[in-house]
Structure 1
Amino acid sequence: MPWNVNTAVAHLNSHAMPASTSNCAKFVRKAIAAGGVTVVNTNSAKDYGIRLTNAGFVAVQGAPRAGDVAVIQPIPGHPDGHMTMYNGTQWVSDYKQPAVHGYYPSPAYRQQKPPVTFYRKS
């Protein structure tokens, strides 16, 4: 089944919780699967870069597009990092992150600004 970014984003939006459940990677991975691409599971969001690459995503820079995935490295207190997908308006993981805050999910991430890599299905 070819990649359908609209289906992936619709799945992500419809399954987002009111607040974080600490399951960001699971929600994003399931949205990608709903869009037609299987990404092999791993325990930590920070480790999804190679898995996304193996599934046909490529690292990109510039303005985000719907379906782009951000993989954010860990910070103290958050050893698994974070993973989120852009829905065309805002970043969504297991919850809809406030658009004003961008892809970093919390004040600690926004203050420390750990490395982030953006991926897009090629």
Structure 2
Amino acid sequence: MPWDKNKAISFARDRAGAGGSHGKSHCAKSVREAIERGGITLVPTGDAKDYGRNLTNAGFAETNTTMPIAGDVVVIQGIDGHLSGHMAIYDGRIWISDFIQNESLYPNRAYRQIKPKYKIYRHP
């Protein structure tokens, strides 16, 4: 099945909307399941920060963009207190993980203050 970013985004938005405004530490699982709903199977990994290789193996490519487009996936490295890192999908307006991230690709204040490294992946 070809990649359908709209199905992935819709699934992510529906699931995150049901979860409230704060993450439940299930960002990697939520985003992986959204990507799978869009037609791409990812090998699960334990931590969000480790999904880069799985995304590239599934046909996504790392991009150096500062202007994400709908369907882009961000993988953010861990910080103190959040060692697993973070993962989210962009819907064209906001980033979505296991919750709706209204402020930025960084999921919370600690990430926004530290600004750890991240990579954005895009499927052609």
Match status 1:74 vs 2:71: no
Distance 1:81 1:106 in 2: 12
Partner residue of 1:106?
Answer: 108
Distance 1:106 1:68 in 2: 19
The one-letter code sitting in structure 1 at the alignment partner of 2:5 is V
Partner residue of 1:48?
Answer: 51
Distance 1:26 1:121 in 2: 19
Show structure 2 runs of 5+ residues with no match: none
Match status 1:10 vs 2:14: no
TM-score by length of structure 1 reads 0.96
Which of structure 1's runs of 4+ aligned residues deviate more than 6 A?
Answer: none
TM-score by length of structure 2 reads 0.95
Partner residue of 2:91?
Answer: 87
Match status 1:119 vs 2:99: no
Distance 1:8 1:85 in 2: 9
Distance 1:114 1:102 in 2: 13
SS at match of 2:14: helix
Match status 1:29 vs 2:32: yes
- Per-residue CA shift, 1:19-68, capped at 9, x if unaligned? 21110000000000000000100010000000000000000122101110
Task: Give the deviation of 1:9 after TM superposition.
Answer: 0.5
Show structure 1 runs of 5+ residues with no match: none
Query: What is the root-mean-square deviation of aligned Cα atoms in Å?
Result: 0.6
SS at match of 1:56: coil
Partner residue of 1:20?
Answer: 23
SS at match of 1:88: coil
Q: Calculate percent identity across the aligned residue pairs.
A: 50
Count of aligned pairs between the two proteins? 120
Distance 1:14 1:108 in 2: 26
The one-letter code sitting in structure 2 at the alignment partner of 1:48 is Y
